[in-house]
Structure 1
Amino acid sequence: MNHPRPYRFRFVIVLGMLSAILLGGGCSRQLPSQYFRLLAFGTIMELEVIGVDRQKAQAAYQTLQQDFQFMHKAWHAWDPGPLGRINQAIADGRTIAAPPSVLPLLRISQELARKSDYLFDPGIGRLVELWGFHNSDLEPHAPPRDEDIEALVARHPSIRDMKLEGFHLSCDNPAGKLDFGAVGKGYGIDRAIERLREMGITDAIVNAGGDLRAIGSRAGNPWRIAIRDPDGGSIFALLSVSGDEAVFTSGNYERNFTWKGKFYHHIIDPRTGRPAVGTASVTVLHPDATTADAAATALFIAGPDDWYRVARQMGIKYVLLIDTEGMVYMNPAMQKRIELQKPVQDIHISEPL
């Protein structure tokens, strides 16, 4: 599925760490809660750790701050840096030694794109750019001309054209451009959780603008996560998370503009080159944040008619989809986990995933 825009990251203004704190229950004196805020990926990142002293928590915060700053620079699609060098080589038709800072993310993105039938496709950076969604400050503006969209779509920009042989990357389609905005935040959160565990921290939550991964518990209580209602700023549902799970939402309310009375959001369907239609938001639970991040985008684009098939292909077990008419779609496992906070007229429960 929204920052000084190095990526197409989804920015959720409400329901961040504050929701987890307010809804998670109290902490005992033996399990102190340490809370930090940092800026990365163009949004406010939030870290809460449980059961460690202030010195250890401060060290974790400083380590994550440095890691996120490194990742932010490495994966910036439009500024100078490792990913910028890759994109320039693609445009020039040159083979390049893929930088180590980008190579793992590139490989996992290729696999996730394949599993999604390329509905999640980080190779459509030029389409993102054409629509202006790469800009730091998104202002209302005229959408691209139909002929420009169709001309670019006809060139089929896609990560599938990017070939890795060992460490060397080549692409025979100069229309391709990598933009990790729909996966980089999740991948970064997964690396942050690894760091915390290396430091001996077992109970924590890392939250990036409402997208998060939680490990352990909050003083023995589940982390309580709020899901935003796509119609406004209220809470649509609550989730309890414990053990190790990521929760990611892709919504049409996150980054958008209106031009001459028509609404345009940032989640581009690679098949049409235009904002995906039919979906308002998708929430995904998964053990790792990288997959959850990519899947939220893929299922949003798949829409009410095809989300189930794509979820199965991607190995997703928990899905909540709200369409633009307000209808709710869930699989049975998600139905058991979700606590709706408002009356819903139409709920469609799928076969088990």
Structure 2
Amino acid sequence: MGFVLSPSTLVRPAHALSLLLVLSLTLAGCRDKAPVMLSRFTAFETQVDVSLVAVTREQAERAAALVAQDFAYLERDWASDGEAMERVNRLLAQGEPFVPPPSVLRLVRLGQTLEVESEGLVNLSIGRLVRLWGFDAATTAGRRPPERERISALVAAAPSMSAITIEGLTLRGSNPALSLDLTPIARGQAIDLAIRHLKDLGVRNALIQAGDELGALGERSGQPWRIPVLRPSGSAVLAIAPLRGDEALATVAEHDRSFTDRGRLYHAVLDPRTGRPADGARSVTVLSADATHAAAAARALFVAGPTDWRRLAGRLGVRQALLVDAEGRLHVTPAMAERLELVDADEPVTIVEPEWPAPVAQDGRRP
């Protein structure tokens, strides 16, 4: 039995909580031993759903408030068009040391690590390229591709997270082309933080979903959380991924933010090496222990494309992944194949093992 709260916004938390209170009282007379309560709000330009199972009225009330506050706090600091991030990017471009919000400092550290691990395919410093394409705007309607010369100039400027120096609590940029865009991992980080806070409250069964990223706790009334994985176009369900226990899933797909010009689709997953939308893949889904890793890995594998995704999956420690290539063919790792339930059981699937790095001997050499 599921119940849905009326949509609420982050600026009206009291309204959301009052609805949750009424809902939890309604559930008291329900014969379902483990009802599912759903609260909903908007953050990071997407709908966020929080499903709670077998919680008390007090737990549900506190949990709904805490998750909404987490997302509101992080969106304030991380939104590309927000006052905090505009200040950070202005000061990074000036090259003078400054103290950023603590949450931004943490993501800069993480972004530097992700850029190295992904071999530059996850680069949080290409905000100027994102804005050039118009993918920072609320809508992409009527967009056209930018001039090649402007793309080439930004790529040649080589923005990189390595051009940010961290000294204590301060940041200093050394490349004027630097401009942070935390979108690739912002929602995943917010989900992971909210999941940790739910655990602290004693919640053991929950699901938090923001767009194509989600984090799960425990089960749904004794059954796994059954998560639809959409086709790259976003128009239909490709498969169901059962999640049980503490797991997260993220999908990067061409439908998420895109526009069409002269019959060609341009999506927002930019390849930092070319400054253009990555080609070769139409969607990538990764199942991992946390939403941040799933989101970052899915983006890296999408940019790597069908020719290099297996090697990069091994490097990133990804065991469960699905890639749909430009021709619509499905490539699935063995561990993911065991989990996925395809809607069309006759759909051809290529099962491919990630290319795991060779073990390193004690002397630092590979056999």
TM-score (norm 2): 0.86
| Partner amino acid, structure 2, of 1:304 | P
Are 2:56 and 1:53 equivalent residues in the alignment? yes
Give the equivalent residue in structure 1 for 2:303.
Answer: 301
Deviation at 1:111, TM superposition (A): 1.0
Give the equivalent residue in structure 1 for 2:144.
Answer: 142
Deviation at 1:344, TM superposition (A): 5.7
Give the equivalent residue in structure 2 for 1:76.
Answer: 79
| Partner amino acid, structure 2, of 1:132 | G
Please give the alpha-carbon distance, in whole angstroms, between the structure 1 residues aligned to 2:157 and 2:318: 31
Conserved? CA contact 1:119–1:301, under 8 Å: yes
Give the equivalent residue in structure 1 for 2:227.
Answer: 225
Deviation at 1:91, TM superposition (A): 1.5
2:158 to 145, 156, 159: 156
Change (3 A) 1:28 1:109: farther
**Matched residue SS, 1:60:** helix
Pairwise CA RMSD: 1.5
1:284 to 283, 286, 296: 286
Change (3 A) 1:143 1:218: same
* Aligned-pair identity (%): 41
Change (3 A) 1:344 1:299: farther
Please give the alpha-carbon distance, in whole angstroms, between the structure 2 residues aligned to 1:315 and 1:287: 11
Please give the alpha-carbon distance, in whole angstroms, between the structure 1 residues aligned to 2:144 and 2:157: 23
Deviation at 1:28, TM superposition (A): 6.9
Conserved? CA contact 2:217–2:246, under 8 Å: yes
Please give the alpha-carbon distance, in whole angstroms, between the structure 1 residues aligned to 2:353 and 2:31: 41
Conserved? CA contact 2:50–2:207, under 8 Å: yes
Give the equivalent residue in structure 2 for 1:114.
Answer: 116
**Matched residue SS, 2:350:** strand
Give the equivalent residue in structure 2 for 1:22.
Answer: none
Please give the alpha-carbon distance, in whole angstroms, between the structure 1 residues aligned to 2:174 and 2:110: 20
Superposition pairs of residues 20-99 of structure 1, within 5 angstroms = 29-81=32-84, 83-99=85-101
Please give the alpha-carbon distance, in whole angstroms, between the structure 1 residues aligned to 2:349 and 2:54: 40
Give the equivalent residue in structure 1 for 2:362.
Answer: none
Give the equivalent residue in structure 2 for 1:205.
Answer: 207
Deviation at 1:234, TM superposition (A): 1.4
Deviations 1:123-145 (A, max 9, x none): 11000011010011221222110
**Matched residue SS, 1:237:** strand
Please give the alpha-carbon distance, in whole angstroms, between the structure 2 residues aligned to 1:142 and 1:52: 49
2:244 to 242, 253, 265: 242
| Partner amino acid, structure 1, of 2:142 | P
| Partner amino acid, structure 2, of 1:199 | L
Relative contact order (C-alpha < 8 Å, sep 6+): which is higher? 1
Please give the alpha-carbon distance, in whole angstroms, between the structure 1 residues aligned to 2:302 and 2:346: 20
Deviations 1:152-188 (A, max 9, x none): 1001112121121222211211101110100010000
**Matched residue SS, 2:183:** coil
Conserved? CA contact 1:36–1:47, under 8 Å: yes
2:273 to 271, 274, 277: 271
Change (3 A) 1:156 1:69: same
Are 2:325 and 1:323 equivalent residues in the alignment? yes
After superposing on structure 2, the runs of 4+ consecutive aligned residues of structure 1 that deviate more than 3 Å are 343-346
Give the equivalent residue in structure 1 for 2:334.
Answer: 332
Are 2:105 and 1:123 equivalent residues in the alignment? no
**Matched residue SS, 1:291:** helix
Change (3 A) 1:212 1:346: same
Conserved? CA contact 1:77–1:87, under 8 Å: no
Conserved? CA contact 1:122–1:178, under 8 Å: yes
Deviation at 1:239, TM superposition (A): 0.9
Give the equivalent residue in structure 2 for 1:261.
Answer: 263
Deviation at 1:35, TM superposition (A): 1.1
Please give the alpha-carbon distance, in whole angstroms, between the structure 2 residues aligned to 1:140 and 1:272: 23
Aligned residues: 326
Give the equivalent residue in structure 1 for 2:15.
Answer: none
Listed as ranges, the gaps of 5+ residues in structure 1 are: 1-26
